[in-house]
Amino acid sequence: MMGLGSGVPGFRGSAVRRFGIALSLVLALAAAPAAQQAPDRSKPPVPGPAPLLRVPPIQKRTLSNGLPVWIVEMHEVPVVDVTLIVKSGAAADPAGKYGLANFTAAMLDEGAGTRNSLDLADAIDFLGASLTTGSSWDSSTVQLHTPVAKLDAALPLWADVVLRPTFPQNELERLRKERLTTILQTRDSAPALASTAFARLVYGPRHRYGTPGMGNEVSNTEMQVSELKDFYSSNYQPQNAYLLVVGDITPAGLLPKLEQALGSWKNAGPIARPALPAATQHGARQLYLVDKPGAAQSAIRLGWIGVARSTSDYFVLDVMNTILGGSFTSRLNQNLREEHGYTYGASSVFDMRGAPGPFFASANVQTDKTVESLREFFKELDGMRQPVPGDELRRARNLEALSFPGAFETTSGMAGNLSELAVYGLPESFFSEYVPKIQAVTVADVERAAKQYLQTDKFAVVVVGDLSKIEKPIRDANFGSVKVVTLDEILK
């Protein structure tokens, strides 16, 4: 069972295992004073100077049609990630057409060039490559991840999907059913309902952020091929895109291939960008209850409109949220999980987008502790307005700063970081400045940010759970005005 590996001094075989162990113990004891001092456990070892992060350089090039290409070489593993980023996502959906960007992206690989949906999937799968299309609030992506040995075969397939999608009617109808079913299944999950409800109740039905990125039942029922084609042709243009390539390649070898694959792609006209209406905060705290009969837990979301990705408080909020609910030792998790055991985990997040996205704290808590949990949420959120102890601040800064290298470990992780720079127009120095800027955040910064961004008296509070058990206690607790909302109000 325990085979000897190569170069394994002192490793014992299994034939005389019991005896072997006893013998080695005796030897170890006899040799202990000279060979091995007992470890000093009186205090935890203090780490030495932190290692330097070596972010490989971004090599910036441009194709003949003006498409910017950012290349990062990573040669540890023979794989490569090729990502087209289009700077239009769900936020670019026209009013009444929510889900259009998402549906368009989903259709790109349902037929492209001369291949139909199945042939395309077969060709990609046979290479052991993966091709993923998708959209977020502010961008759409066509991402190829492939063994580098298969890049030449995979690149034309990826280019077909980027440049020559065919939007077949039958595939749209098939995806429509799939998407409507996914939307229906939202009703199964209290956490999913709580997230959907929170967005709707904070932003309302007329702001794009008030409806899920994939749209709702009505918009997905109405979506037409012509609308998808229009969205594609007006947004998928070189002047609205970046190409990110990360992996075991060199620019010299790669660029001719990219030029061949994408050089013929031309701009088609100005990019139309519907402006998002300004969203307004609630004037006073409002609780919203959604019934989920029989639920063993209540899904809680509380917060309001937060900040855009362009906020000058990015680093302060990163550190503040790490303290509040962005880490295992954060106050929310320590309180609701470790101290009280009400939940498997509590957290908070600033969801930063092109326009101010939501801030919310969340947890799924056992039904009979719903009121107690809400009380602890408010206690911790309000407590952030007091000065944060120095060691807690240092821990949060270190966690964010010293774990930063992990974001650059994989080709897809690196591509994700590049994508954020491209979509939000951040300088490349963001990477090199990240650690010092995080480490520069002060107690006063955090206190100011908490006062500005955590005004719980204006929060929306959403609780999805078994109202027969939780409605009366929540009303009796007097957290604020309480309203019961129906699933239709959230989902339509």
Partner 1 sequence: MSVRRLVIGVAVAASLAIAPASARQAATASKLAVPYTMFKLPNGLTVILHEDHSVPTVAVNVWYHVGSAREKPGRTGFAHLFEHVLFEGSKHVKEGEFDTLLEAAGGSNNGSTTTDRTNYYETVPSNALDLALFLESDRMGYLLDVVTPKLVDGQRDVVKNERRQSYENAPYGMANLRMTELMYPKDHPYHWPVIGYMDDLTAATHEDVTEFFKRYYAPGNASLVIAGDFNTPEARKKVEYWFSDVKAGAPVPPLTVPPVELSGVIKETLTDRVQLPRLYLSWLTPALFAPGDGELDLVASVLTGGKNSRLYKRLVYDMQLAQNVSANQGSARYGSRFTIVVTARPSEDPPEKILERIKTVVDEEIEKLKSAAPDAREVDRAKNSFESGFLGQMEVVAAKADQLNAYYFATGNPDYFATDLARYQKIGAADVQAAARRWLPADKRLELTVLPAGKGSGK
329 binds partner 1 (CB under 8 A): yes
| 335, 341, 343, 348: CA torsion to nearest 10 | 10
Q: Which of 118, 284, 440, 484 binds partner 1 (CB under 8 A)?
A: 118
Candidate segments 25-33, 88-96, 254-262, 305-313, binder of partner 1 by CB under 8 A: 25-33
Neighbouring residues of 400: CB distance < 8 A, sequence distance ≥ 6: 318, 319, 322, 438
Nearer to partner 1, 25 or 443 (CB): 25
Nearer to partner 1, 127 or 155 (CB): 127
Alpha-carbon span 131 to 146, nearest angstrom: 8
Contact 292, 367 (CB under 8 A): no
Q: Which of 234, 311, 334, 455 binds partner 1 (CB under 8 A)?
A: 334
CB of 342 to partner 1, least distance (A): 7
17 binds partner 1 (CB under 8 A): yes
Q: Which of 58, 63, 121, 163 binds partner 1 (CB under 8 A)?
A: 121
Nearer to partner 1, 375 or 483 (CB): 375
Strands 79-86, 241-247: pairing kind: antiparallel
Name residues contacting partner 1, limited to 74-93 (CB under 8 A).
74, 76-79
Candidate segments 29-37, 254-262, 416-424, 475-483, binder of partner 1 by CB under 8 A: 29-37
Neighbouring residues of 449: CB distance < 8 A, sequence distance ≥ 6: 313, 316, 317, 320
Alpha-carbon span 7 to 166, nearest angstrom: 57
33 binds partner 1 (CB under 8 A): no
CB of 336 to partner 1, least distance (A): 10
Q: How far from chain centre, in Å, is Cα 242?
A: 20
User: Edge-to-edge strands of the sheet including 286-291?
Assistant: 343-350, 358-366, 297-305, 460-465, 286-291, 481-484
220 binds partner 1 (CB under 8 A): no
Neighbouring residues of 326: CB distance < 8 A, sequence distance ≥ 6: 318, 347, 348, 349
Q: Backbone dihedral region of 99: left (phi > 0), alpha (psi from -120 to 50 degrees) or beta?
A: left
Q: Which of 16, 284, 296, 484 binds partner 1 (CB under 8 A)?
A: 296
Q: How many CB atoms lie within 10 A of CB 39?
A: 7
361 binds partner 1 (CB under 8 A): no
176 binds partner 1 (CB under 8 A): no
Nearer to partner 1, 129 or 243 (CB): 129
337 binds partner 1 (CB under 8 A): yes
**Residue 283 exposed, middle or buried by CB count within 10 Å (0-12, 13-18, 19+):** exposed
Nearer to partner 1, 399 or 461 (CB): 399
Candidate segments 86-94, 224-232, 272-280, 340-348, binder of partner 1 by CB under 8 A: 340-348
Judged by CB under 8 A, how many residues of this single chain contact partner 1?
104
CB of 1 to partner 1, least distance (A): 5
Q: Which of 182, 280, 386, 468 binds partner 1 (CB under 8 A)?
A: 182
Strands (E), 20-110: 59-62, 68-73, 79-86
Q: Which of 128, 256, 436, 473 binds partner 1 (CB under 8 A)?
A: 128
Q: Which of 57, 328, 433, 440 binds partner 1 (CB under 8 A)?
A: 328
First-to-last alpha carbon distance for the chain, in angstroms, is: 60
Nearer to partner 1, 126 or 481 (CB): 126
Lookup: tokens for 204: 């309302």
Helical (H) or strand (E) element with 377: helix 370-383
Name residues contacting partner 1, limited to 401-430 (CB under 8 A).
401-406, 408-411
7 binds partner 1 (CB under 8 A): yes
CB of 11 to partner 1, least distance (A): 5
Residue tagged 């939000």 (tokens)? 424
CA distances from 462 to 173, 178, 201, 265, 485 (A): 34, 28, 8, 47, 10
Alpha-carbon span 93 to 91, nearest angstrom: 6
Candidate segments 266-274, 291-299, 441-449, 471-479, binder of partner 1 by CB under 8 A: 291-299
Neighbouring residues of 316: CB distance < 8 A, sequence distance ≥ 6: 441, 445, 446, 448, 449
Name residues contacting partner 1, limited to 248-277 (CB under 8 A).
none
Candidate segments 100-108, 230-238, 311-319, 359-367, binder of partner 1 by CB under 8 A: 359-367
CB of 27 to partner 1, least distance (A): 7
28 binds partner 1 (CB under 8 A): yes
Q: Which of 185, 221, 468, 486 binds partner 1 (CB under 8 A)?
A: 185
Q: Strand, helix or coil at 166?
A: coil
Candidate segments 20-28, 237-245, 280-288, 376-384, binder of partner 1 by CB under 8 A: 20-28
Nearer to partner 1, 174 or 266 (CB): 174
